[in-house]
Structure 1
């Protein structure tokens, strides 16, 4: 089928096309006029949400949360939000609404959920692709009712969003409150253990007491070292007096020994002089000799006393060394015991510090979550509240007519082609050539008022199959 044949079929079946077109447009127009008018009211919502973990307090911007806008759309269209709208508008209190529910469901189910489902069917939510704005639209037969329901959905969504925001904080606050009590009890137990240990071991000044005892041990150790040196020196001097006391520097340095030694020298010289002048039996000689013997006796006594003094000093130093050694050993034992006590005390003090830090951290988070759980600030704002629309949103008569014209034309052409397939007729020379497969010698055109119009659809005197074909035109 070429284009000329297609045009001839349309011309021949024009009545079918026209009838189909008129019927389609008429039915569309009638239906558009008979359908009740619906009005769509739209509320614009803006979201300014920052997600926050109620326990850790870490904030996560909504832009980093995948599917955030889709989640908000699901929340708006949830049954929970719709039930809140039903409760806010008090649908269930209407006798007419109750009768409608009884008629539709025979009393089965919940009337609130049933009305919520009806509202959700007429609700449309469209999120913006490049911003945080959501368009919430509700369609109804009454423009004022549509605006009221749209605004009610916005308010219910705000309440639900606030509940979803505060509910985790409230749960976390309850959990953290319990943990605060537990940690406070742990801190109390740790402090009690620390105090009991201090009382048991007689610790009153904390770490300073351990430092004082260590310093005392160091001081005693230094004294012991000095005493050991003195004892060794005194012992050497004592050993030096045992062989020859007169050669000992300590004995020789004794003032009495030195004085007696001088007196001995003087009496010996005096005795020698008298011996040269007088005989040994002379009274003066005897007197001088007795004096010399007495001085020598005193000298020997002084040597013994000096030697005893050196030995006594050595014994004193040895005794002092022994006492210091015992004191150092006792202090060392005491310091070692204190070190063990200090280690245990440090562990108990660390337990107290850890319990204190944990309690402070949990108290801080508990205060924060408590405030968040009691907050009434929502992240959803109403940018443009819905107002009763002036013009109805459906039916759109003009759009429906345009679609009806297009559809009526397509249906008319389709019905025309279908009728032609069911009742095929010869409408041009090409139909004969294609159907019979013989050359066309001529075409008879009727002489009438429509002849000029027909000529636009009938090819004149042409043949494409044989060279001897001629085209003639005859007029009646």
Structure 2
């Protein structure tokens, strides 16, 4: 079927299309008038997810934020939230609402779930473009009722969100409390086993988790290393003391002075002069005293060095004896170390579980959520239904499409020849020429012709040719 054939069919069946179109528009308008009007009310909530949690300090990343927003939108339309609104509205005590429930369900089913479902069906949730704001929309036959219900719905949603968070934290805290209690009992059992082993083997555990004999061996080793280092330092100090005594320095200075005086007196006075001889005697006396002082300093340094050597030897002998003792206790010490590691592990498990329990208890007692109420609920005085331009447009489009379908279907049932294309299709023969019809006379020309005929006398009539 060519486009020109299709257009000819539509023009020929234009009355069917027009009738269908008018019928659809009239029916749509009539049905819309019988339905109750619906007025929208809106309430907004800010999801403050960009700042850290006041308890845990955690933040929601961009990937998790999308899932969080979707969860919040589903939560608003959840049965538990809508059920709380039904309870606050007191519909169960409202005879009119109860009568509607009985008419629709015959009294079968749960009234609270029926009411929650009605609220859910009239609720829509959307995110304001480019923000973290949720907009809750509720439609009702009365604007004030819609405003009241959307406000209660927002309040119930915030309460439910906080309750879900605290309840979850409370349940997890209870589980961690059980784990911490088990860890505490395991820790007590490990400490008891360690204490019994230490008592049975006469072992003592130090404050740092090191057995007393091992700790003593470590102390002796440290003291021995320090003593050996001190011995070298003492010998160096003794040599320095022997060489750097103040008395020795003064005596050396006197000997040097006397040498100068003796040399000067020998040149001036001669070697036989009494002064020269007195200076020689004086130098001999000073040199003898210098030798005596040097010997005493060396003896003192040697005494100190000997004491240091004796201290190092005693510490070395004590260290060797303690090492032999510790090596003989190696099996017991290994068992004690294993018991100590068990105690440390159990203590670490208990401390972690106790700390996590405390954090969750704190989180379960939080009375503020990350949701912020933005202003009051707002009701619109213009109904969202019926939307006459939308209804009229949809009815017109549907009626036009339905009329075209009916027209084409009717044409297919009673096919007629409306052009050269139809003639060629029916006869299966080529069309060589088309004889055009006489030009149509317009309606105005017909009226003028009738008027002219009535005004002529009968004798002026010409016979038909």
TM-score grouping bracket, smaller chain normalisation: 0.5 to 0.7
Q: Is the 8 A contact 2:204 2:212 kept in 1?
A: no
Paired residues for 1:76-475 under 5 Å: 76-127=76-127, 131-200=131-200, 201=202, 203=204, 207=211, 209-212=213-216, 334-383=325-374, 385-422=376-413, 437=431, 439-449=433-443
Paired position in structure 2 for 1:74: 74
Root mean square deviation, CA, Å: 4.3
CA distance in 2, matches of 1:67, 1:27: 44
Q: Is the 8 A contact 2:217 2:323 kept in 1?
A: no
SS at match of 1:443: coil
2:52 maps to 1:61? no
CA distance in 1, matches of 2:420, 2:217: 133
Which structure's CA Rg is the greater one? 1
CA distance in 2, matches of 1:175, 1:428: 87
CA distance in 2, matches of 1:366, 1:211: 37
SS at match of 1:42: strand
**Post-superposition offset of 1:86:** 1.4
**Post-superposition offset of 1:94:** 1.7
**Post-superposition offset of 1:174:** 0.9
Q: Is the 8 A contact 1:39 1:142 kept in 2?
A: yes
Q: Is the 8 A contact 2:183 2:346 kept in 1?
A: yes
CA distance in 2, matches of 1:48, 1:356: 39
Shift in alpha-carbon separation, 1:6–1:194, aligned structure 2, 3 A:
closer
Bigger shift: 75-84 or 187-196? Answer: 187-196
Per the normalisation by structure 2, the TM-score is 0.60
**Post-superposition offset of 1:409:** 3.5
CA distance in 2, matches of 1:209, 1:103: 90
Gaps of 5+ in 1: 220-326, 453-475
SS at match of 2:380: coil
CA distance in 2, matches of 1:149, 1:415: 46
Paired position in structure 2 for 1:42: 42
CA distance in 2, matches of 1:333, 1:39: 95
Number of aligned pairs? 345
Gaps of 5+ in 2: 224-317, 447-464
Q: Is the 8 A contact 2:126 2:134 kept in 1?
A: yes
